[in-house]
Every structure is written in structure tokens, then in C-alpha cells.
Amino acid sequence: MARNILDKVIVLWICLVNFTVSVPPDSSIYYGQFPEDFIWGIGTSSYRIEGAWNKDDSCLQKLDPNLNDETGYDPFVVSLLKHYRFSISWSRVLSNGTLATRNEKGIQYYKNLISELLKNGIKPLVTLYHWDLPQALQDVGGWESDKMIDYFSDYARLMFDELGEKVKFWITFNEPWISAYHGYGTGTSAPGIKDKGHKPYTTGHVIIKAHVKAYRLYKREYSHQNGVVGIVLNSGWKEPKTQSQSDKDAAERAIQFMLGWFANPIFGNGDYPEVMKQQIADKSRKMGIPNRLPEFTEQEKHDNIGSSDFFGINTFTTNLVTYKENSESTTPSFDDDQDIRMFRDPSWKRAKSGWLSVVPWGMRKILNFIKDNYRNPLTYVTANGVSDCGQLDDQFRIEYFKTYINEVLKAIKIDQCNVKGYMAWSLMDSFEWEKGYVPKFGLAKVDFEKNERTRTLKASAHFYADLVKQNGFTKSSFNMYTYIKEDLEERDMFYKGLFPPNFAWGAATSAYQIEGGWNEDGKGPSIWDDYSHEWKITKNQTGDIACDSYHRYKEDVQMLKKLGVSHYRFSIAWSRIMADGTLNSLNKKGIDYYNNLINELLAYNIQPMVTLYHWDLPSALQKTDGWKDPEIVDKFAKYAEVCFVNFGDRVKFWITINEPFVVSWLGHGIGIMAPGVKEPAIGVYNVTHNIIKSHVKVYHLYNEKFRSRQHGKVGITLDCDWKEPLTYDAMDRYSAERSLKFKLGWFADPIFGQGDYPAVMKRFVARKSEQQGYSNSRLPEFTDEEKKQNKGAADFLGLNHYTTNLVGYKNRDNENSSYEADQDTVLSFDPCWNKSESDWLRVNPWGIRKLLKWIKNRYRSPVIYVTENGVSDDGQMDDVSRQRYYTKYINEILKSIKLDNVDVRGYMAWSLMDNFEWGSGFTQKFGLYHVDFDIDSRPRTPKASTVTYSKIIKDNGFH
């Protein structure tokens, strides 16, 4: 009788609590300290980090058939905290889930982990079940079967026996709502069963009883270990959409169906929430089916009450809730049982995970709900964090932690919530269930591309460590940018302003990529004709016709006119005007073609910017070793002189060679571009040596014979990605600088610097060469006279820039000799940078500003033209990604001019139209204009980006 009266009192007390927690949203920072006994920690779970899924007799977990994850990494803990929450893999210690398959190696693994933690002063918080049920138990019914109660009890007993002397903080289940609803309802989590109307309730019932039995077991037989046992529940805050009573009631139902479903039996009156019982009973009765919510016996209710020493809450986000009657449904469903609709305010910031919006005040409200509904239990926030795409400078996560943790402090200090600990989620990037490795929650970055799974602390880790050290918030602490080590506000800002008067705006192409007419009118074959005819291109495509600009150049000029450009950068096909590359095969029709193109441009006041060499060496010259042959220097000079004589009266911008790095490394090092030569150790350096000498000779040729009467400029176009250090570690910073010098400096230092290769390049190649048994350095040397000729042999530096790399240090002494290995670096991308259709191109606008500033500082502020910049897609006409790319990259160039005083005088967009993209054929589209390659006439159609680029040109910047 007394028991029934107590139950009624508890129910009445819960019903009297006003659901709309009287905590107004407050975005201000509360300054103060957490209690002295407050515990700080960080969390992970076994399946997400351990790996070794089938090693040391660990059998299949129920996750494996669904997700097929076979790779992970052994856990590590940074000693910045004093508590580490992790879970035990049931199937690692009991292969099939039963005592008959006890696995000593698995048990020893956890003993070793716990000992290592304690040795470092870190206390373990151990979760027994974090969703990874042994597959053998799933095969006999899983959490639908009451047998699981005893299986789980046996497993818990084993862990208490083996680990209980050192573990004083146990969690039975992590987020049983996920196991029940998503595992057996929606089927989006393992074991992938879809029955939203029945099985969530039956499995939830079994899980509660399994928890209670394990808790009572510990209290009965293991109290001498002086530990605590609890359960971790999950719920975001549920905010009524409006202050109408129907919406308030709907929000209460939402939180009772999520949190109360498990909390009410354990922390309340031993039974399910009254609103949940009533809703499900009413819905079932209307459908003419038995009540789908199982019932606890009186004894079970008695055992349920108080069966947890603490309330663990995992909370990440908030939902808005409104009333929606689901009376027409004929199929029972957990969702319809609630008569609600949940959604998010579109103004809330979104995380990488679609379900997670950033609403800090929801944290305080959910803690107050727990206090008000469950008599202010001892509470631990056992998981809280935010996902992004994985950058090291994770200011988004810092802001999240700062605001959410501050709401915890408010709940403690202002509202007297009995919160005694906080576990950040998570220690490191890990396997995020059905989303794989895409969303990143970690305070440490993990490189999943490397076998060693390298960990690197993010900025948020330093922020969190300092917050823990200070045990709260002081007015002088926690400027977010202190941890980023960057003026990110300026880096990411959009700058309003204009480019200098007479800034050169243009678009760019190259001969082989657009002309076609590969064997017409006396043109000789080039190495790219040969290379593509050997079927080395995607889909066996060739540039035989390409955009057919050999016949349609007037259409191209009209496209340029409509864009509003002042310049057009194109290249001359050496073998079109000299079929075999020598004066013996001078081709008048080829010369006429370029004269016609130049004249057509000038008729519309468009200035030609002409590249002499864009990778298409005459085949006849390749037969005598091409760029490896020292005689190429004189041959190239004779070709250049023909161009100066025939076109120089009208052409005032000459580029000798486009991207010599591609010719050297991709063409003669790894052989993935024409001519397909693979000589990565020596040939690559010899080719570069000849290219530099060829450029220098042509520059001086123009000076001596043509400059005084033609008044043109001669430069070279170099390509370079910005090289951002992977971390702030000194070795990574040195590696990034070295990478720039090996890429850009390889060509720029001789011409724009002191006439010689970069000192670090000479030193590294010489050391590696000696170690590898070479008598001399594999890097050739310039004579003193050549250095003198090299220095200053350009009127401008043409820069082709598309993307950024992250650069880390890697000792590569034991690798085969190659230009790449000589650098002792490893390149990667920030996963947050947007991808393009080209796997080498990630979008990172601020990289171009950093590179331009680096060039200015290293080479005494040379005149720079950005001669290529653009992005690939798969051909959309509404090319939003290209519009954004041009807008942001061009704005960064404007910032470099206005804020950094870089002498940039022009910008050539790549590319005027879709064209033949070398090894990728026609599969990657860079064009401002779409070209239909399936129609003989190759019709051109402007994409949306033409409007964007034209407006920038017309405005000469950004108003």
C-alpha cells in the first residue's frame, strides 16, 4: 500500500513540473569556475577506434555485416585530461557473446589499456555496451530476446571480475534509444532491422531489464569494489515551435519518447512515462491491435527505480517541435505514436552531420529538464561535441565547446543542476557509423590514408586543455583565435574594392587542347598526338578535333568579346608552323592561321598573350630525345625567332614555356603525361636544366634582336600550389617551405632569384645522391656565366595556380631515388576543402594570396600575371561551383594587391571553353563556355559563370 502511494506521489510530482523549462536562451558568456570535484574527460567507443576486427579471436560483431569496416587503429590517450571514457567490445572478450568463448587476449587488451591509463593518472570510465553486439547473439534474436538479459549479466560479471578492481566508473549501455529505434526500427544502425511499430519497444524493454540486472548484480556482489554503475541516455533538447499549448505538449511528448522512455523507469517511478503509455495504447486500440508497449511487473518496477548511481547524458543539438496528429496512419510506427513533427530552425548553424545544429542554450535546458523531472540526480555529460570536415584549425569546434560548456556552467551555478562532469566527444576522428569517416568529431585529426593512422592535435584540443586547466571561464581567457594561430577573420573576409586601372582581364586556352586539325595543312605530329594515339587517355579520347578551333577561331573571338576581356592567352603549336620542329619544315599555312587569329583578336581590341610552348613538342624532336637533348636549347630559340619575326609586331606578351614542372616531372619523371618517359631520379633534373637554358636563351634573343622595335614583354609561366604546413610543428613548417622551393623555386630561383637552384634543393639532392652511391649530385650545375645569364631573364612571372596542399615531414631516405623522394615531404589535402572533378584540385581560395605574398617576398616583388586559374566540374550549365571559385579566388588576388602590395597586373581565367584535359580527355570541364563534343560543329554555349566573370571584369573588382 505504501509502495502504491509513493508511486502516485512520484507521478503527481512529475506531472506538476512545467515542461517548458524556465530557462531563457542566453548567448552571453558566464564567467566562473566549475566545482572543485568536477571531472573533465574525453570519450571514444570500441568499434569506432579499435580496428583489428578479427584479430586475437575476436569474432564478428553485429556491425560488421552492415558496414564492412576492417581498418581502424589502436587507441591512444593524450594526457591532457584525467578521465577517459571508452567502451569494451563484447565480442573481443567473449567471441560469441557467451562465457563458453572467453578470449584471454581480448581481456588482456583491456587490462593493458586500463593499466596504461592509470599509470598516466587517467581514470577509466568504461562502457559495457556501445552498440556492437556479438553477431552470434544477434543470430539468436539479439535484443528482441529475453535471453539477452542473462547473456549481458554474464558479460558484465566477467568484466566486474576481471577489471573491477581498477575500474570505478561503469556505464552499462550507451544510448539505448539508438539501439532500439535505429537498430530495430528504422534499420539505419546495426543490425538493420526495419519495424518501427513494434520492435523498438520490445528491444527497449529488454535493454532496460538487462541494465537493471547488471546494476543489481554489481550492488549485490561487487559493492566492495567501491565503484559506481550508471547508464548513458541521449536526447537533444525539444523546443516548442510556438508557445501554444499544443506545441508545448508536443515537445514534451518528443522528449518523453526519447529520454523519458528509458529515464522514467530508472530515475522516475519505475515505469514508462504516462504520456507514452497513453499514446501507444490509444494508437494501438484505433488500429485494432494489442498494445505494443510491453509492461513491467510490479516487481520489475520496484527493481527499476533507482537502478543507476548517476544520470549520463549525451546531448549534441536541439529540435523544434510542433503538434501534428498522425491519425490516418494504418501502419504502426514509433514516429506516428508521438503526434509530432520535428525540424530545425534554418538560422541555426549546421554541422557536417546533417542531424546536428548548433544551439548552445539547448544544453542548459536539457540539464534543467533532468533536474526538474528526476529530482536533480547526479549527472554527467558523457558525450558532447560537433562534427566538421576535419580541419586542424577547427574554430567551429572551439566555438561549439566554448558555448556548450558555458551553458553547463550556467546550469550548475545559476540553476543548481547537479552536474559533476563533462566528457568531450571525441578524442579523435573515428568511424562515424553509417557515415563512415566523413564527419569528423575528433579533437585529434587521424590520417586514415596512412597505415600508421597518424594523430595530430587540432586547435580545439589546446582550447579544451586550457579550459580544463582553468576549470572554467575567466574574462581574460579563451580568445578563439589564440588557438588558431591565424588571423582567420581577415583570411576569410570578403574584400570590397577595385583592381588597378588597366588591369589585364583575360581567358586562356592551349593549342592541343582546342585546335584540332592535328594533321591538316602541313601540320606535323606532336608528342601529344602520339601519346593519345597510343590509347593512353581516358575513354581512348584524343585531341584530333578537340574544340575544332583551327576552323572556328572566329567563334572563339566572339566568345571573348562577349566576356568583355582585354586579353586572350593562347599557345602556338610548334609542329603547326614547323612540322618537324626545324626551319626545314616551315609551314606557311600554319603561320597564316596564327596571323589570322591575332588579327581577329586585335580587330576587337583584344590583346594576344602568346605561349610558345604548351607541352606539344614536335614528334620529330622527341626522336632525338626532345627536352633531354642539350641541342633542344638552340632548336627552341630558332622556333621562337620564327614566332617573333612573324607575329611580334602585334604580340606584346610572350610566354616562353608553360608549366615546365609538368614537362619535367609528369612527362619525364613519372611518365603520366607526354612523352611518357619515366626517369624520376636523373632525367627529370636534366630536362629542367635544358628548359631553363632554353627560356633564358630566348629571353636574351628577344632583348638583342626584337625588343627595341617590337616593345614586347617576355616571361615564363610556372605552376605552383600553395604549400600549407600540415601542423604548426617546426618540421612540418620547414617541409612546406622546402616543398615550395622544390616546386616553384626549382624554376623561379634561377630566373627571378640569384641565377641558381635553391640552396636547400642543392643540399638535399646532393646528400641523397651521395647516400645512394652516385659520384655526383643528380642535380646538374650551372656555370657562373649561366647563372649570370639566368638572373633576371624574365619581364614577368606568369603564375598558374589552382589549389593548395598540406605538407608534412617524412623521412624518405630509404626510398628509391627520385625528385619526389628527395624532398622528405608528404602531401595531402584538408578534407574540408571542396572537391572538384579533378582529384588533384581542392578549392582553397586563401592559398593563392599566400602564394602571391611568398613570391613577392622571395623574389623582390616581381611583376606577376595569373596566367591560369579555374576549377573543373562535370559540365553543368548552371556552374555554381565555378562562379564561387572565380569570385573567391579573384577576391584573394585583390586582397594580395591592396593589402599585401603584390604587383599582380592581370588574370587569365582557365578556361575559355571546355576542352581536351590531357590524360582525362573530355571528362573534366574547366570552361566558361560549354562545348558539345558529340556534334561535329562543336557548338559553344555560355555557362552561368560567364555572367559572374563578365561582371567582375566590367566592375574591375567588387563593389
> In degrees rounded to 5, what are phi and psi of residue 83?
-140, 135
Q: Do 42 and 428 touch, CB atoms closer than 8 A? A: no
Q: CA torsion sign, 624 to 628 to 631 to 637?
A: positive
The answer for residues whose C-beta is within 8 angstroms of residue 230's C-beta and 6 or more apart is: 170, 171, 172, 308, 309, 310, 311, 312, 380
Q: How far apart are CA 21 and CA 352, in angstroms?
A: 29
Residue 954 CA to chain centroid, in angstroms? 35
Of 562, 559, 537, the closest CA to residue 547 belongs to 559
Axis crossing angle, helix 459-470 with helix 395-413, rounded to the nearest 10: 20
Please give the DSSP secondary-structure letter assigned to residue 917: -
Would you tell me the crossing angle of helices 944-955 and 880-898 to the nearest 10 degrees?
A: 20
Which grid coordinates are listed for 120? 598516466
Cα-based angle 713, 716, 717 (whole degrees, multiple of 5): 125
* All cell numbers assigned to 386: 560537433
d(CA 71, CA 431): 9
Spatial contact of 277 and 292, defined as CB atoms under 8 Å apart: no
Catalytic residue among 555, 868, 892, 917: 868
For residue 641, with 0-12 CB atoms within 10 Å meaning exposed, 13-18 middle and 19 or more buried, which class applies?
Answer: middle
Question: How do strand 32-33 and strand 472-473 relate by DSSP bridges?
Answer: antiparallel
Cα–chain center distance at 325: 41
Output b/e per residue, 465-486; b: 16+ Cβ within 10 A: bebbeeebbeeeebebeebbee
The CA distance from 855 to 902, in Å, is 9
- Which candidate, 488, 486, 487, 505, places its Cα nearest to that of 890? 505
For 707, residues 6+ apart whose C-beta sits below 8 A from its C-beta are: none
Annotation says 868 is catalytic: yes
Q: Which of 165, 170, 114, 206 lies closest to 312 in space, CA to CA?
A: 170
**Residue pair 779/770 in contact by the 8 Å Cβ criterion:** no
For the record, the C-alpha cell of 391 comes out as 580541419
Largest Cα–Cα distance in the chain?
115
Q: Please identify which residue in the block is written with the cell numbers 594523430.
A: 455
75 φ, ψ (degrees, to nearest 5): -70, 150
Query: C-alpha angle with apex 526: 522 to 527, nearest 5 degrees?
Result: 165
Contact 513, 917 (CB under 8 A): yes
> What span, in angstroms and rounded, lies between the C-alpha atoms of 830 and 726?
9
**Helix axis angle, 944-955 relative to 549-563, nearest 10°?**
50
- In total, the chain counts a number of residues equal to 959
Letter string b/e over residues 510-538, b meaning 16 or more CB atoms within 10 A of that residue's CB: bbbbbbbbbeeebbbbbbbbbbbeeebbe
Burial of 878 (0-12, 13-18, 19+ CB in 10 A): exposed
Structure-block grid coordinates of residue 513: 587542347
Handedness of CA 663, 668, 669, 670 (dihedral sign): positive
Strands 940-942 and 349-350: unpaired
Q: State the cell numbers at 198.
A: 513494434
Distance CA 466, CA 863 (A): 46
Helix (H, G, I), strand (E, B) or coil at 102: strand
The three-state secondary structure class of 212 is helix
DSSP 499: P
Q: Which residues are catalytic?
A: 868
